Amino acid sequence: MKITGWEVLTLPDRGDAMMLVVVDTDEGIHGIGEVGLRSRQQAVAGALSHLGGLVLGEDPLRTEQLWQLMFRSGFYPADRVIASAIAAIDVALWDIRGKAYGVPVHELLGGQVREYVPCYVHLGDGMADRPRFLERCRTLVADGWTHLRFSVPHDGDVLDERRTLRDGIALFHEVRDAVGDSVELILDVHTRLDPPEAVTLCREIESARPYFVEDALRAEHPDSYRMLRARTGVPLAAGEQFASKWEFAPLIENELIDYARVDIAIAAGLTEARKIAAACETHNIKLATHNPLGPVTAASSLHLNLTTPVAAIQEHQSDPDDTLARFFTHRPTITPGRVLPSTTPGLGIDIDRDLARAHPTPPRPLPTLHRPDGSFTNW
């Protein structure tokens, strides 16, 4: 079997654009992957054009060899832009492999170690209307969700760190009081705070027992987590912005986090993600896969987590809205709190390509935040 071509598709997704890659073969088997870096799609498209040329005519079943070729053949190590392009192609190749052998991808990764994968749900924004926000928490719990995730609040496009600190502490305790002790709560700082505020926030919510605090610090200097680790007892999670096992290495080898937030659509695909998961296992670090994206990354995360002993939970933002759902002929089965295994060969997903081609969609610019004095800060 040989790779005969690839196609990039952009689909409308909650006001944004989902970027997919379909890889075709001479045996009529195709595979689908997703680009995780939605905010730099033109740059990723350029990388895909280059990488697609590298794999054209190659055997799609040689996933490790093709991964090495894509990651290393440009001499300079792949950054997040190139790694996101590699991820989409690599996941598509695993989809092809599963279809070629007639088995779901998790069977190729060693088989299931669990019957389902726990998942958590986003609460969304709207914290300013506190009664309504807390009622949404209670409704989701009543529906069967056992893990809830929300972010530290900010005021429109202004983020005042001290106010965010105070509001975030109060919000976390209010949600805990609203849902009780048996529901697990995840707080995403989203790299918005500097170290002094991050430390205070983590310490002030310890008594409310967070499942983990995510991205409490910026990702550029992972060793900063050494300071935070020494000054708080809350479980820490990080890694959604990392593109390879080498970027994860300082956090894993120094045991500075409790949960690795591997994003398969950014961290160079399933080939690389399973190696990161293996490194986590050697240090008793759990896997909490990152997926604010769509059904393709939900599916690839599912197959990894079904086969990984240290997998704890995967992110689930929401089901596709009616606009997006109509493009997918197959997608993962998700019930409140669980992603269920698929018996369909490959990833267990597929799309209506003709319909997708008819609806090309530009990406939405990410929000930008600034501090009260006008200086830029992370969203």
Active site residues: 190, 290
What whole-number distance in Å separates Cα of residue 40 and Cα of residue 47?
Answer: 11
Parallel/antiparallel/unpaired status of strands 16-25 and 3-13: antiparallel
What whole-number distance in Å separates Cα of residue 302 and Cα of residue 324?
Answer: 20
Q: Within a 10 A sphere around the Cβ of 245, how many other Cβ atoms?
A: 19
Q: What are phi and psi of 178, to 5 degrees?
A: -75, -35
Q: Which residues are registered as beta bridge partners of 6?
A: 23
E-assigned strands of the chain?
3-13, 16-25, 30-34, 117-122, 147-151, 184-188, 212-214, 236-238, 259-260, 286-289, 311-316, 328-330, 333-335, 338-340, 350-351, 369-370, 376-377
Q: Which amino acid is at 354?
A: D
Q: Say if residues 351 and 328 touch (Cβ distance below 8 Å).
A: yes
SS3 labels along 221-252: CCCHHHHHHHHCCCCEEECCCCCCHHHHHHHH
- Residue 156 is given by DSSP the state T
